[in-house]
Amino acid sequence: MTSFIDRVEIEVRAGAGGRGCVSFRREKYVPRGGPDGGDGGRGGDVVLVGDRNLTTLLDFTYRRRFHAEPGGHGRGSNQSGADGAPIRLRVPLGTVVHAASGDVVGEIVEHDAELVVARGGKGGRGNTFFKSATHQAPRFAQPGIEGEAERLVLELRLIADAGLVGKPNAGKSTLLSVVSAATPRIADYPFTTLTPVLGVVDAGDDRSFVLADIPGLLEGAHAGKGLGLEFLRHIERTRVLVLVVEVDSPDVRADYEVLLHELASYAPELVHRPRLVALNKIDLRRDDDVTAARAALPDAEIVIPTSGATRRGVTELVRRVADAIDASRRAET
């Protein structure tokens, strides 16, 4: 089974430029040959390339230092050195690149999109470049410039249309398994989902979307409690949030407010994102209990009673999520 790695630190160094050449033309019957030293080649860049077939940063745990090829040195007869070959590192879509200072260098969200994270050094000028009417025989050339060296943090933020957010054991994995072909780990104890899981949902009417099961959030997740902080970043890219609340919770309203508080504490803009509430596990309670639990939630929310075990309400949930995603996309155009 492939390990899910969503944050790594790497070191990259672009290639140094080649040095320029000091050379003079020497040919038979040409007693006063002038300078003919060529320029050095440019060093290779370090480039990140998006790859839709990758889902983890696991490869970067085996190798963390990457050096691009240096440029070739200039030669006589005005021959420039060859440019160094760049090194291209393939990363999953949704990879955000941070500098050591914490500043965002860029992000990769499209297949084959490229991001240069370290630029190769320029090659030095050969002595031919410095020839002039007043200096016809320069005996010097420039050294190549060193390539950029950076310490980078690669952070993967999964790209999904909608995300299931709830406390541990709220039934998110079961919901994902019945609406998609995804096979998340399901058991009757907390934290069965240790990594985000994606599934493609067929909403009918030629509509589909990607749904993510985010590991459970505990109160205090934004401050590092439980597994929440490690995976809250994956919620940032979702268009629509589905808050999954257990109908048999001792305090449905409190669970709902804890989820909103953790989202707001991590990234305030998340609470303004379109959201629905899945009042889950209704197969465990009588209808009047479900009605009472619904009444405890804000009237403004779209609340859909659901059961992953019996699939009750699942079709409506999928349709409502697809509608919210469509509305979000229209708002962007």
Whole-number average pLDDT of the chain:
85
Q: Who has greater pLDDT, 248 or 217?
A: 248
Alpha-carbon Rg for the chain, nearest whole angstrom, is: 29
Nearest to 9 by CA among 54, 63, 86, 47: 63
Q: Who has greater pLDDT, 115 or 261?
A: 115
The predicted-structure confidence for 238-283, as pLDDT tens digits, reads as follows 889 999 999 988 899 999 998 898 888 888 888 889 999 999 999 9
Least confident among 78-82, 221-225, 272-276: 221-225
Q: What is the pLDDT of residue 230?
A: 57
Share of the chain above pLDDT 90, in %: 50
Q: pTM higher than 0.95, yes or no?
A: no
Decide: helix, strand or coil at residue 309.
coil
Residue with token string 């990259």: 12
Average pLDDT, stretch 139-148? Answer: 95
The verdict on residue 189 lying in a domain is yes
The predicted-structure confidence for 293-304, as pLDDT tens digits, reads as follows 999 999 878 999
Phi, psi of 206 (to 5 degrees): 60, 30
Is residue 218 predicted with pLDDT exceeding 60? no
Same domain for 215 and 269? yes
List the CATH number of the domain containing 212.
3.40.50.300
Number of Cα atoms under 13 Å in the Cβ half of residue 177: 14
Same domain for 133 and 197? no
Same domain for 168 and 81? no
Least confident among 13-17, 183-187, 325-329: 183-187
Q: What is the pLDDT of residue 82?
A: 96
Average pLDDT, stretch 158-179? Answer: 84
Same domain for 306 and 327? yes
Q: What is the pLDDT of residue 30?
A: 64
The verdict on residue 96 lying in a domain is yes
pLDDT band at 186 (very low <50, low <70, confident <90, very high): very low
The verdict on residue 197 lying in a domain is yes
Secondary structure of 34-91 as H, E, C letters:
CECCCCCCCCCCEEEEEECCCCCCHHHHCCCEEECCCCCCCECCCECCCCCCCEEEEE
The predicted-structure confidence for 31-63, as pLDDT tens digits, reads as follows 667 899 999 999 999 999 999 888 788 889 889
Q: What is the pLDDT of residue 68?
A: 97
**CB distance 293 to 301 below 8 Å:** no
Same domain for 23 and 74? yes
Instruction: Give the count of domains, the chain.
Output: 2
- Of 156, 175, 203, which one is at a domain's C-terminal end? 156
Same domain for 140 and 196? no
Is residue 229 predicted with pLDDT exceeding 70? no
**DSSP tag of 214:** P
Nearest to 122 by CA among 40, 194, 55: 40
Q: What angle do CA 293, 297, 301 make, to 5 degrees?
A: 130
Q: Who has greater pLDDT, 191 or 246?
A: 246
Is residue 194 predicted with pLDDT exceeding 60? no
Q: What is the pLDDT of residue 223?
A: 42
- Identity at 184, one-letter amino acid code: P
- Of 156, 190, 223, which one is at a domain's C-terminal end? 156
